[in-house]
Amino acid sequence: MVKRSLQASLTGIQEAKRAFALKGWTQDNLAAEVNLKTRQPIWRFFSGRPVERHTFIEICLVLELNWREIATNPPAEFRELEEYTEPAVLDIDALVQQVRCLRRATPTQRFDKIQDQCGTLQLLDISRPVAIDDIYIDLNILQEIASQQWLEITELQKLDPKEFDRFGLGEINLNQIPGTQAVETYSKLRVLGKPGVGKTTFLQHLAIQCNQSAFVSNHVPIFITLRNFAQESKITNDFSLLKYIRQEFITSGISDPSVIETLLNAGRVLLLLDGMDEILNQQSNTVLSEIRRFSDKYHRNQLVATCRTASQRFRLRGFTDVEIAPFTSEQIQAFAEKWFVAFSKTNTQDGQTQSAEFIQKLDLAENWQFRQLVVTPLFLHLACWVFHGQEKFPTKRTDFYKQGLDLLLGKWDEAKGIERDDVYRGFLLPQKLKLLSQIAAATFQDGQYFFEQRIVEQYIGDYIQNLTNVPMDAEELQVESEAALKAIEAQHGLLAERARGIFSFSYLAFQEYFTARKIVASHNLQAFEQALSGLVSHITDPHWREIFLLTATMLRSADSLVQLMKQQIDALVAQDPYLQEFLAWASQKSRSIPSQAKDATVRAFYLALSRTPHVAPHFILASTLDQGMFLDAALDDLLLECAIDESQDFAHIHACGDALSTILGIVLDVGLYKSLQQLSDQLPNSRQSQERFRLWWQTNYSTWAEQLKTTVINYRNINHQWEFSIRPLAKVLFAREGKRVKVKGEEGNTEPFPLPPSPFPDLCKKSIEQQQVLQRYYDANQLLLDCLHSNCEVTPAIRQEIEATLLLPQKELEDREWE
């Protein structure tokens, strides 16, 4: 039986110590180079005590020593570690071609083995495999690892939420190159990436391309799943890549062991090692030591390994680390077209049509959350699958997020048969979800999209401490918290190290989803009410918009939430008499219009018509303008055009005249028609001279414009000059002093106007504050409407009451309560 340990002889120890001294390392440094967790095996090595055989050999390799010369009586059983002798081969190219069957009429078993091993994919939730060429698109590679950047957290906190998901993923500062170019550039490459970014598929693609002579045609591809290698080697207690590859060749009909040795010694192998992160911890050091040994011995060959980014601590000396970049817009479009063609139930044209519809809807503003997620093959496949079944994106985004999280938290590893180490100390799935929800809610509440490692470890430590109810030593708790953080990052990819020591959720959508989940999952009625009240306090904060929408759709009944939102919205303007008067005018005007649209829709229309900040488009687009509303809109535009009094030319007056003629064609009220016709008759005609036109302008225009305004107010009750903007207010104030002023932004003027003495600055300040309050009021009403239309569960009576009382002044709301 093969000995499982080796020990250094006295002469070997002296030789090893000399080599160690030349390195200038400590024993901790050497342990890190050998990828050991502690320096105890190093101490045992230099003390002449038995050391696990692969660790012994790895120490010697790192110190550049021949392990046979260092060991005491090395056993003869280590024949697989003997230097290989290259058999006499006259033409290595002929051997490569022979193994890869390219000079035969029919494929060899080896060619078929690679095609069978790497030629198809089994996508999640799809009942049949798909050919890799039918779905694969070229990946891009980041030559710099985002998480290795040194950045201050203050730099990250400045990012806009829509830049959050892009940061560190290649669209800002990191250069990208095609994946095949990276393989051609570096002979030893380790490809990093988060779960579901396509690492395994990339290696399969390389194997197929090489097998079909489309890539590195002078090499023989060998694809090894390291998880399988580790499991089989554990059974035989023999971690030898060479033996494993020999067995691979035997199953491919190549039984002569000299063939693989010849190819390896000649550097004609493309060795693809998939899943360094999928090896259990107790086997990882042994497997990695064997990869290093094999790589050093057969250094002329091309090696590509894959590993999750968070597991890059498993170092491979001599390998260049790169990272898979997220999909670009072009890659998303190319993947979607291939996906829908591959899974179309009819024909290629139908698949292309559905792909075009998918991209068109994905680019809509309301689907930008999906657009942020589908930058990886995993989520893009999930989005295509959902769209394929429904021909639209789900109204409840929470359903999509839940499917994605189910994949990351378990199904992804289960589908690949990966067994992970129990780093969570036996956490069940609900406990993992609760932990992530607490981290998300605590950081989001503080406005933190990015947080330092020590902060998130404190949140994890608090959760572990509360979960166990058993006091833990501070150092032990710190170790457990750090291990849990690394497990979440490596196993699920839900937390990601964006720069050194700075973490975030991998996608803002997940931080928002878990924050909403924390609110919904409140453990009792009192806590639930407090959570909803806390949420509603953020109703004017745009960063919380998605939390409101997600919470509404996750609640079994959203009645309490939408009622609290309505109360908070009405309170925003309840104490401002001017704003209340403004709302009362809009309400009165809406009642005077015999429109089939809902009262709230008509109120919104007239609030928008007042030239206040934008009313949310939902209100206006939801209505079909009747004749009265269309007339009011045309009159308001005419008044706005006539207010541009700096334009003293006939073309301007002619435009006003044309607009007035159009309006006369839709006026039904006899009195209004007569008044507008009289005003139209007063306008100068095109036959008048420039001098007579200028004289008319100077003597008549101001009076004419004022008469037009008065007529519109008297007959249509619009254009009351509601002043919520500093520009029109400033003009009015200056006009009272008999001054003319141009405001910043107008033609020919770039300087801000000077404010007159008090009390004018105070009035301007108040106007700006009212404008801001009104804008928040509009946006909050839009948010409430979006929640109601988000497919959430709201009692019909409550839904009708809220929609009926939108944008009403406080007095009318109180009157309705008394009815």
Dist CA 170 CA 629 (whole Å) = 50
Q: What mean pLDDT, rounded, does the chain reach?
A: 79
Dist CA 155 CA 260 (whole Å) = 52
DSSP 411: I
**pLDDT band (50, 70, 90) for residue 530:** very high
Identify which has the larger pLDDT, 302 or 621.
302
DSSP 430: H
Q: Per mean pLDDT, which of 229-233, 401-405, 594-598 is the most reliable?
A: 229-233
Beta strands in 366-507 (DSSP E): 451-452, 495-499, 502-505
Helix (H) or strand (E) holding 692: helix 690-716
Supply the pLDDT for residue 82: 40
| pLDDT above 90 for 614 | no
Sign, Cα dihedral of 528, 531, 537, 542: negative
| Average confidence (pLDDT) over 651-677 | 81
Dist CA 112 CA 99 (whole Å) = 11
| pLDDT above 60 for 271 | yes
**pLDDT band (50, 70, 90) for residue 633:** confident
Half-sphere exposure in the Cβ direction for 222 (13 Å, CA): 29
pTM for this entry: 0.67
Helix (H) or strand (E) holding 404: helix 397-406
**pLDDT band (50, 70, 90) for residue 103:** very low
Supply the pLDDT for residue 394: 81
Per-residue pLDDT tens over the stretch 117-133: 899 887 766 767 889 98
| pLDDT above 90 for 359 | yes
Supply the pLDDT for residue 437: 93
Supply the pLDDT for residue 730: 37
Supply the pLDDT for residue 343: 83
Helix (H, G, I), strand (E, B) or coil at 174: coil
| pLDDT above 80 for 34 | no
Instruction: Decide: 131 and 481 in contact? Cβ < 8 Å.
Output: no
| pLDDT above 80 for 651 | no
Helix (H, G, I), strand (E, B) or coil at 280: coil
464-478, 485-499, 635-649, 711-725: least confident range: 635-649
188-193/130-131 β-pairing: unpaired
Supply the pLDDT for residue 3: 54
Q: What are phi and psi of 221, to 5 degrees?
A: -80, 140
| pLDDT above 90 for 585 | no
| Average confidence (pLDDT) over 415-440 | 72
Instruction: Return the amino acid letter for 18.
Output: R
- The Cα-based distances of 693 to 82, 641, 657, 659, 699 in angstroms read 107, 18, 14, 19, 10
* Residue 615 CB partners (closer than 8 Å, separation 6+): 604, 605, 607, 608, 778
* Residue 557 CB partners (closer than 8 Å, separation 6+): 793, 794, 795
Dist CA 789 CA 802 (whole Å) = 12
Helix (H) or strand (E) holding 729: helix 726-736
**pLDDT band (50, 70, 90) for residue 438:** very high
Supply the pLDDT for residue 312: 57
| Average confidence (pLDDT) over 646-652 | 63
Supply the pLDDT for residue 544: 94
Terminal Cα-to-Cα distance of the chain (whole angstroms): 94
